[in-house]
Amino acid sequence: MGTLKDLGESGIIQMLRALTREHMPGLALGIGDDCAMFSFYDDAYYYLVSTDMLVERVHFKVGQMTPYQLGLRSLAVNLSDIAAMGGTPIASFLSLALPPHLDESWIKSFSDGYAYLTNRHHTALLGGDTVRSNGDIVVSVTILGKVLKGDEKIRSTAQSGDLIVVSDTLGDSCAGRLIADERNRRVEAHGTEEQTHLLQRYYEPSPRLALGQALSKIPGVHAMMDISDGLVSDLPKILSQSHVDATIQLDKLPISDELETECSKRTKWSSETMAVTGGEDYELLFTISESDLDQLPEPDRKSGIPPLTVIGRVSSMQGGEPVIHWERKKRHVTRDFRPYNHFR
């Protein structure tokens, strides 16, 4: 047998699933979507649960991210999973492993960041665990949400012919992380307006709850998820669960002016590659029948609805495994985008 590096995250999950029950009364969805989903008795709602773990030096660096940003971010990534189902968050549970030398002001600032999003999205903090760490900081958040039965958006329901849509822009967070790395190495001491924007997109992702809830009311929106690992890693999850292929128009990918500007200054940066492979955007990715496209909400920053962009189309599956066809100006291009594996 190999090491975890070979096995990867999905291998571990497969192993655990093979060994344990995955059924309970009222269960609608177990492992494999953004949230688990179940109902209680005749209740009108499905309840949603998701959990995410952030580890120092893997998901964040203490010198690069303020404790406020880490607190905010650790809840944001979980709220994003609720948004991806079209749900509303109810409560969160926060576990922290912290080294004993950490300053009290650190936890105060972390708490402020966590509380900001908690209060903004009317979510209760109902419990958790606080333990000592001998090394890295670890943050684990579990979130509970709900969605009216019938309004839930899951990954396995994309239909051939659907258009593929993403919210806002892609790749900004990836660039923000690289800029934070550069600054740590003091390559770039001064900061441009564009860099500030990209850093903000990395540090303080906006869970798309308002958008997810609006889309949950449109029956023509078939499959949905959030982009946490990057388009090239996440889209195949919809495709394989829905047994469909997809074609993505690379020239249609929504890329911010700020990302284009920063890429134009660096020979090694490609905005297209960042938009396709860069993770941590926490934008929504969904499929919709073409005839329902006019039902999509208008962008409105005030109510938290970002712009939406059609980037491709779902097609019927040709082989045993889902395939993404890449096109530029409607012409096929051969690209081998590498997905991200946490254990590499």
- The least CB distance from residue 82 to a copy of itself, in Å, is 13
- The least CB distance from residue 224 to a copy of itself, in Å, is 17
Task: Name the residue among 163, 321, 174, 166 with its Cα closest to residue 247.
Answer: 163
Considering CB under 8 A, how many residues would be counted as binding a copy of itself? 86
Residues 256-295 binding a copy of itself (CB under 8 A) are none
Residues 182-241 binding a copy of itself (CB under 8 A) are none
* 122 near a copy of itself (CB under 8 A): yes
Cβ pair 307, 255 in contact under 8 A? no
Cβ pair 304, 210 in contact under 8 A? yes
Q: Which of 63, 101, 187, 301 binds a copy of itself (CB under 8 A)?
A: 101
Strand 244-249 versus strand 308-316 pairing type: antiparallel
- The least CB distance from residue 61 to a copy of itself, in Å, is 11
* 138 near a copy of itself (CB under 8 A): yes
Cβ pair 66, 56 in contact under 8 A? no
Question: Between residues 97 and 211, which has the closer beta carbon with respect to a copy of itself?
Answer: 97
Sign of the dihedral through C-alpha 198, 154, 245, 320: positive
Task: Name the residue among 153, 29, 144 with its Cα closest to residue 89.
Answer: 144
Residues 22-61 binding a copy of itself (CB under 8 A) are 22-24, 27, 30-31, 35-36, 38, 40-41, 43, 45, 47, 49-59
In terms of C-beta density within 10 A (0-12 exposed, 13-18 middle, 19 or more buried), how is residue 191 classed? exposed
* 90 near a copy of itself (CB under 8 A): yes
- Burial call 316-341: b when 16+ CB within 10 Å, e when fewer: ebeeeebebbbbeeeeeeeeeeeeee
State the DSSP H helix or E strand holding residue 37, giving kind and residue range, or none if neither: strand 36-38
Question: Between residues 230 and 312, which has the closer beta carbon with respect to a copy of itself?
Answer: 230
* 307 near a copy of itself (CB under 8 A): no
* 333 near a copy of itself (CB under 8 A): no
- The least CB distance from residue 134 to a copy of itself, in Å, is 5
Question: Between residues 31 and 333, which has the closer beta carbon with respect to a copy of itself?
Answer: 31
In terms of C-beta density within 10 A (0-12 exposed, 13-18 middle, 19 or more buried), how is residue 168 classed? buried
Measure the CA angle with vertex 115, ends 111 and 133; round to 5°: 30
CA gyration radius for the chain?
20
* 342 near a copy of itself (CB under 8 A): yes
Question: Between residues 153 and 197, which has the closer beta carbon with respect to a copy of itself?
Answer: 153
The piece of 130-138, 208-216, 218-226, 251-259 that touches a copy of itself (CB under 8 A) is 130-138
* 148 near a copy of itself (CB under 8 A): no
